[in-house]
Amino acid sequence: MRYSHGPDVLHDINLNLSPGSFHFLTGPSGAGKSSLLKLIYLAQNGSKGQVQLFGQDVAHCSRRDKALLRRRIGVVFQEFRLLEHLSVFENIALPLRAAGEKRESYEEDVVELLSWVGLGDAINKNPRTLSGGEKQRVAIARAVVGKPELLIADEPTGNVDPEMGIRLMRLFVELNRLGSTVLIASHDLQLVRASGAPVLTINDGRLSGPKPARRPGRS
């Protein structure tokens, strides 16, 4: 994969995420983590090679087919991407509304999820009034509310305190137990090790792993 006429950003990547698996993706800044995630959630086209999602070759998908594939993916972006003309509740419910669901069918779930991420009092607030950590939690709630088949999270705990980070990880683990495939890019090696989940490492655009995460106290 390359941008414009520059050098390759990713090299000889061979990655298969089995349905229902849970992986972390680590590596130094600029190693290619975000570029790899963009390929997976269809924000970027590869310059060569093949990308398959849910058994479909992305290169041969129409725009409509790609849109339908994206509905099966939940994404937590580093920059949040909240819509400031919508309330916190409306931002979180957006994937469900896009899927054609009625408010009465999801309102209780959204309220419960807001409480879980510690934002029960922010339901009617505008995202502009929230702190960075609060925006992060809204973005995570929006990504998981529809129980996506695949969850991609880019540094999802980077703007929250350690206690909330652990709580959010429990949310990802529970989503995984319900059948979602989860891939989390993170610099938080303590959190990665505590999870015990397999770790993929990317460096200079090359991917290695998965390796078992080392739990604290293990050599």
pLDDT digits (tens, 9 = 90+) for 145-166: 999 999 999 999 888 888 888 8
Give the model's pLDDT for residue 185: 93
3-state secondary structure labels for all residues of the chain = CECCCCCECCCCCCCCCCCCCEEEEECCCCCCHHHHHHHHCCCCCCCCCCCEECCEEHHHCCHHHHHHHHCCEEEECCCCCCCCCCCHHHHHHHHHHHCCCCHHHHHHHHHHHHHHCCCHHHCCCCHHHCCHHHHHHHHHHHHHCCCCCEEEEECCCCCCCHHHHHHHHHHHHHHHHCCCEEEEECCCHHHHHHHCCCEEEEECCEEEEEECCCCCCCC
In single-letter form, the type of residue at position 11 comes to H
Q: Residue 212: pLDDT band by 50, 70, 90 thresholds?
A: low
In CATH terms, 1-72+149-219 corresponds, of 3.30.70.580, 3.90.330.10, 3.40.50.300, 2.20.25.10, to 3.40.50.300
Q: Kindly tell me the burial class for residue 195, based on how many C-beta atoms sit within 10 Å of its own C-beta (0-12, 13-18, 19 or more).
A: buried
Report the pLDDT averaged over residues 177-191: 90
Domain chopping of the chain, boundaries:
1-72+149-219, 82-147
Beta pairing, strands 150-154 & 181-185: parallel
Report the pLDDT averaged over residues 31-35: 86
Q: Residue 171 in contact with residue 114, Cβ under 8 Å?
A: no
Q: Give φ, ψ of 100 to 5 degrees.
A: 90, 10
Q: Residue 212 in contact with residue 196, Cβ under 8 Å?
A: yes
User: pTM of the full predicted structure?
Assistant: 0.87
20's tokens: 């229902």
